[in-house]
Amino acid sequence: MPAIKFDPELCASCETVDCLMKCQYIEFAGISDAKAEKLKINAGENSRVLNECLTCYACQEYCPFGNNPFYLLVELQEKKGILPAPKPIVEEQLRMMSPKGRITRQKVRSPVVNMCAFPMLTGCVRGKLFEGASVISGNDIFCNIMWLHFAKNSVIRDRVPKMIDNIMSFYLKDSKIDEMVCFHDECYGTYTSVAEAFGISVPFKPIHLFDYINRRLNEIPDLIKPINEKIAYQRPCSNRLSPETDKILDDIFIKIGAERVPRKHDRENALCCGGVPRAQQRDELADELVEKNISDMLSTGAKYCVFNCPFCMATLGQEVAEHGLMPILVSDLVLIALGE
């Protein structure tokens, strides 16, 4: 089992300790305090960070050296049995999200769009935007990145290679296709960042949804009717694993005439939607995060609240709607601009 890719020397000489100093959920007295905690983690020792971490993934983005601080932290949480959620919840999730063995061989054609464990969203793949697409989904190709929230790197190591094998053997290989669009950027984060850090090989090319949409809009510019609306974007935790794609989203919004309003809690300062602490039964924190997100969005005068993650939308969508903003997925917003 390969260890998480990580260079302790980089941390030893790191002057900013951005991974912890920028954390929005844990307070440090200063850089030396944060560094002391980080060095404890690197040495496999107890650190209060292991208990206080919200598992928001953000330190993966904050580290300027790509030194995988969050994956390493989860590794130690699991080793020490520090579970961010009550054990029965973790066990229930493990059963619920396990591979079901119900996958069947299917001929597919490009673009192949992976909906992960959200088959109920298959209807989003429609219109000129996804013309000719094949859709694949289900627990047998679930990306399994969620275990980072539950101190279960071992499940990622066990299940992700099986999911990759299923994607290849049941869909891509026989159809001679070597790339796959990830509708959910959790999948993209799994097949790029997680796979690289965990030493898992990926035989296909993962395409981020934003990259696919942006390229498709370049092919059909005459169909775009700018929507000329202000939108508040709810950036998901998994986007911390592919921050370069956030810039592609800006391009998409410009193309469809959507103004991404400057929110306090967007981009690097994005806040968790509240779904993860809710799943971990930390309801007070979940309520606080929902309230902070909603009041931040309301202060911008946006008409839409745009989500990239279906789980964030399930968590915040109703609250957002009750406060007068229209919740919508990125792909559906683009479909509106295409008149569909």
Q: Does 145 bind ligand SF4 (CB under 6 A)?
A: no
Q: Does 97 bind ligand SF4 (CB under 6 A)?
A: no
The region of 20-28, 112-120, 165-173, 243-251 touching ligand SF4 under the rule CB under 6 A is 20-28
Handedness of CA 23, 28, 33, 39 (dihedral sign): negative
For residues 196 and 215, give the distance between their C-alpha atoms in angstroms, rounded to a whole number.
Answer: 25
Q: Does 57 bind ligand SF4 (CB under 6 A)?
A: yes
**Residue in 45, 46, 65, 301 binding ligand SF4, rule: CB under 6 A:** 65
Site string for ligand SF4, 279-318 (x = CB under 6 A): ----------------------------------------
The region of 7-15, 126-134, 219-227, 317-325 touching ligand SF4 under the rule CB under 6 A is 7-15
Hey, what amino acid is at 24? Q
Q: Does 194 bind ligand SF4 (CB under 6 A)?
A: no
Q: Choose between 14 and 337: whose C-beta lies nearer to ligand SF4.
A: 14
Q: Does 69 bind ligand SF4 (CB under 6 A)?
A: yes
Q: Does 130 bind ligand SF4 (CB under 6 A)?
A: no
Three-state helix/strand/coil letters over the chain: CCCCCCCHHHHHCCCCCHHHHCCCCCCCCCHHHHHHHHHHHHCCCCCHHHHHCCCCCHHHHHCCCCCCHHHHHHHHHHHHCCCCCCHHHHHHHHHHCCCCCCCCCCCCCCCEEECCCCHHHHHHCCCHHHCCCEEECCHHHCCCHHHHHHCCHHHHHHHHHHHHHHHHHHHHCCCCCCEEEECCHHHHHHHHHHHHHHCCCCCCEEEEHHHHHHHHHHHCHHHCCCCCEEEEEECCHHHHHCCHHHHHHHHHHHHCCEEECCCCCCHHHCCCCCHHHHHCCCHHHHHHHHHHHHHHHHCCCCCEEEECCHHHHHHHHHHHHHCCCEEEEHHHHHHHHCCC
**Residue in 41, 58, 90, 121 binding ligand SF4, rule: CB under 6 A:** 58
Site string for ligand SF4, 34-53 (x = CB under 6 A): ----x----------x---x
Site string for ligand SF4, 100-119 (x = CB under 6 A): --------------------
Q: Does 163 bind ligand SF4 (CB under 6 A)?
A: no
Q: Does 67 bind ligand SF4 (CB under 6 A)?
A: yes
Q: Does 31 bind ligand SF4 (CB under 6 A)?
A: no
Q: Choose between 92 and 268: whose C-beta lies nearer to ligand SF4.
A: 268
- Least separation in angstroms between CB 225 and ligand SF4: 39
**Residue in 4, 41, 50, 63 binding ligand SF4, rule: CB under 6 A:** 63
Hey, what amino acid is at 72? L
Q: Does 26 bind ligand SF4 (CB under 6 A)?
A: yes
Q: Which residues bind ligand SF4 (CB under 6 A)?
A: 10-11, 14, 17-19, 23, 25-26, 38, 49, 53-59, 63, 65, 67, 69-70
